[in-house]
């Protein structure tokens, strides 16, 4: 095709083919009035890449404009002046260099694992195995990571997950809640604690109170403590914090634990329709029936409405008791007749926080075909362990 130059070696505007005379005049006038921002003027004529015999001259070459906005700037932390890019490290992260003090550095980025040196991929695999029933020492053998590092990772993830639950479980719309508590022990059993005359509340029996939503399968909140009236009130107050902002009447069902009625009346009051399912256990008749680790047989379950208008057909605690089975299956610390019980109260609390956040946001429930958090309208996507750590 014809080059965009005239016979005198001067540049001419690029014209579309078969352009009429008025249009040629309009384009020429527009090019003469064009702004000179981003324009580079050349003193010598340009040549083609193949160095052809005839020269191609041009007075202006317009450089393409940036459409991505302003460039990101990094300031030297010593001199407080703008630094320039200075290559990349072995992981592909951009490095910068100060022209004044000649120091090189990277832009600060918040790490997923804080100050831990453990690789991100290995850490996520360890956390996935922890919520699927693996113990710390078995993970030490499999992953070649020291048990203290795994314990530090569990503490870090547990704190992140507990903060996540406290922020996300707010103004949750619930209709049918079931309360229950699941037992384990910390460091030693209560009987051994009594023999040694110890009075530490973080040694011995440890009960985890859980509030389970029947329809969405959401584990609304939890509380780790003793099976006392004080801890029961603290647990129900956490339920109130999660429900605060909604106005509907909630049906609540518990077992016959005596502190429940007063705690629910104090925290929830007329917002609840409360009923108890009182279970009568059968007394063993023969010595062979007195098995040490077998539960007693239930003789009768009596639904007892206390106030409000609870639906008699929905007075049930089977769903939250089935959730207790999930906890014992997925958490090695709750497996009976093993040595995998918690030795420290903080370890048990971190493990519970990690599991409950994973259950609500990451684990797909088989009957819902989605996560409980999605069914409750808290989120619209399936999370993974990395999302839990990011919060």
Tell me, yes or no, whether 289 and 171 share the same domain. Answer: yes
In a domain, 342, yes or no: yes
Residue 71 pLDDT: 57
Q: Which band of pLDDT confidence, cut at 50, 70 and 90, is reported for residue 265? A: very high
Residues 6+ apart with CB under 8 A from 145: 118, 122, 126, 139
Structure tokens at 4: 């965009």
Q: Which band of pLDDT confidence, cut at 50, 70 and 90, is reported for residue 291? A: low
Nearest 10 degrees: Cα torsion 311, 299, 323, 193: 130
Tell me, yes or no, whether 199 and 341 share the same domain. Answer: yes
Tell me how crowded residue 55 is: count the other CB atoms within 10 A of its CB: 13
Rounded Cα gap, residues 66 and 228, in angstroms: 66
Structural contact between residues 177 and 250, judged by C-beta atoms closer than 8 angstroms: yes
Rounded Cα gap, residues 172 and 190, in angstroms: 36
Q: Would you mind telling me the total number of residues written for the chain in this entry?
A: 391
Domain with 13 in it: 1-62
In a domain, 262, yes or no: yes
Rounded Cα gap, residues 126 and 132, in angstroms: 10
Quick one: average pLDDT of 300-313?
Answer: 95
Tell me, yes or no, whether 91 and 231 share the same domain. Answer: no
Rounded Cα gap, residues 77 and 327, in angstroms: 48
Tell me, yes or no, whether 135 and 177 share the same domain. Answer: yes
pLDDT tens digits, 151-195: 999 999 999 999 999 999 999 999 999 999 999 999 999 999 999
Q: Does 391 score more than 90 pLDDT?
A: no
Lowest-pLDDT range, 29-43, 151-165, 248-262? 29-43
Tell me, yes or no, whether 27 and 140 share the same domain. Answer: no
Taking each continuous run of H as one helix and of E as one strand, the counts in the chain are 11, 12
pTM for the predicted model, two decimal places: 0.75
Lowest-pLDDT range, 22-36, 245-259, 310-324? 22-36
CATH number, domain of 174, equals 3.30.420.10
Rounded Cα gap, residues 238 and 217, in angstroms: 18
Residues 6+ apart with CB under 8 A from 106: 89, 93, 94, 95, 96
Tell me, yes or no, whether 199 and 107 share the same domain. Answer: no
pLDDT tens digits, 105-160: 887 777 899 889 999 999 999 999 999 999 999 999 999 999 999 999 999 999 99
Burial class from Cβ neighbours inside 10 Å (0-12, 13-18, 19+) for residue 35 reads: exposed
Q: Which band of pLDDT confidence, cut at 50, 70 and 90, is reported for residue 40? A: very low
pLDDT tens digits, 197-218: 999 999 999 999 999 999 999 9
Residue 180 pLDDT: 97
In a domain, 73, yes or no: no
**Stronger pLDDT, 73 or 60, i.e. the higher one:** 73
Instruction: Indicate the DSSP class of residue 342.
Output: B
In a domain, 299, yes or no: yes
In a domain, 10, yes or no: yes
Residue 5 pLDDT: 47
Query: Given the DSSP bridges, would you call strands 250-254 and 176-186 parallel, antiparallel or unpaired?
Result: parallel
Structural contact between residues 366 and 202, judged by C-beta atoms closer than 8 angstroms: no
Quick one: average pLDDT of 274-291?
Answer: 75
Structural contact between residues 154 and 350, judged by C-beta atoms closer than 8 angstroms: yes
Rounded Cα gap, residues 316 and 303, in angstroms: 8
Burial class from Cβ neighbours inside 10 Å (0-12, 13-18, 19+) for residue 99 reads: exposed
Q: Indicate the average pLDDT of the chain.
A: 84
Tell me, yes or no, whether 249 and 107 share the same domain. Answer: no
> Facing residues of 274 across strands?
252, 307
Tell me, yes or no, whether 105 and 159 share the same domain. Answer: no
pLDDT tens digits, 214-249: 999 999 999 999 999 999 999 999 999 999 999 999
Which of 95, 112, 129 is the last residue in one of the domains? Answer: 112
pLDDT tens digits, 333-356: 999 989 999 999 999 999 999 999
Tell me, yes or no, whether 217 and 102 share the same domain. Answer: no
Rounded Cα gap, residues 204 and 194, in angstroms: 9
Tell me, yes or no, whether 101 and 124 share the same domain. Answer: no
Structural contact between residues 164 and 388, judged by C-beta atoms closer than 8 angstroms: yes
Residue 285 pLDDT: 56
Quick one: average pLDDT of 65-71?
Answer: 46
In a domain, 131, yes or no: yes
Rounded Cα gap, residues 163 and 258, in angstroms: 31
Tell me, yes or no, whether 58 and 87 share the same domain. Answer: no
Q: Does 97 score more than 60 pLDDT?
A: yes
Count of domains observed in the chain:
3
> Facing residues of 300 across strands?
280
At residue 237, what are phi and psi to the nearest 5 degrees?
Answer: -65, -35
Residue 56 pLDDT: 34
Residue 290 pLDDT: 54
In a domain, 67, yes or no: no
In a domain, 193, yes or no: yes
Q: Order of strands across the sheet with 176-186?
A: 219-225, 204-213, 176-186, 250-254, 272-281, 298-307
Residue 243 pLDDT: 95
- Rounded (5°) CA angle 217-223-228: 125
Tell me, yes or no, whether 185 and 307 share the same domain. Answer: yes
């Amino acid at each position: 095709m014809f080059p965009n130059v005239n016979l005198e070696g001067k540049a001419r505007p690029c014209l579309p083919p078969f352009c009429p005379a008025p249009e040629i005049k309009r384009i020429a006038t527009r090019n003469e009035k064009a702004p000179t921002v981003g324009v580079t003027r050349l003193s010598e004529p340009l040549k083609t890449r193949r160095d052809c015999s005839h020269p191609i001259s041009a007075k202006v070459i317009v450089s393409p404009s940036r459409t991505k906005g302003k460039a990101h700037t990094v300031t030297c932390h010593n001199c407080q002046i703008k630094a320039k890019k200075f290559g990349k490290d072995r992981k592909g992260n951009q490095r910068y260099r100060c022209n004044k003090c000649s120091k090189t550095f990277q832009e600060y980025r918040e790490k997923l694992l804080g100050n831990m040196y453990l690789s991100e991929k290995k850490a996520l695999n360890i956390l996935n195995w922890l919520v699927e029933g693996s113990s710390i020492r078995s993970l030490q053998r499999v992953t070649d990571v020291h048990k203290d590092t795994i314990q530090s990772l569990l503490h870090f993830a547990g704190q992140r997950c507990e903060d996540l639950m406290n922020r996300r479980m707010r103004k949750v719309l619930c209709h049918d809640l079931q309360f229950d508590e699941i037992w384990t022990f910390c460091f030693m059993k209560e009987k051994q604690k009594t023999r040694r005359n110890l009075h530490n509340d973080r040694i011995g029996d440890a009960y985890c109170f859980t509030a389970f939503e029947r329809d969405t399968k959401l584990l609304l909140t939890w509380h780790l403590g003793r099976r006392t009236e004080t801890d029961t009130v603290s647990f129900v107050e956490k339920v109130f914090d999660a429900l605060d902002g909604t106005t509907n009447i909630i049906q609540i069902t518990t077992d016959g634990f005596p502190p429940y009625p007063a705690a629910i009346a104090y925290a929830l009051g007329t917002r609840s329709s409360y009923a108890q399912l009182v279970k009568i256990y059968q007394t063993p008749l023969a010595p062979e029936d007195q098995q040490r680790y077998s539960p007693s047989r239930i003789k009768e379950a009596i639904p007892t409405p206390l106030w409000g208008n609870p639906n008699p057909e929905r007075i049930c605690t089977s769903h939250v008791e089935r959730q207790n089975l999930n906890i014992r299956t997925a958490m090695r610390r709750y497996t009976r007749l093993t040595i995998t019980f918690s030795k420290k109260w903080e370890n048990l609390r971190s493990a519970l926080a990690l599991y409950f956040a994973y259950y609500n946001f990451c684990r797909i429930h088989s009957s819902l075909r989605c996560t409980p958090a999605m069914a409750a309208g808290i989120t619209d996507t399936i999370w993974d362990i990395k999302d839990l750590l990011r919060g």
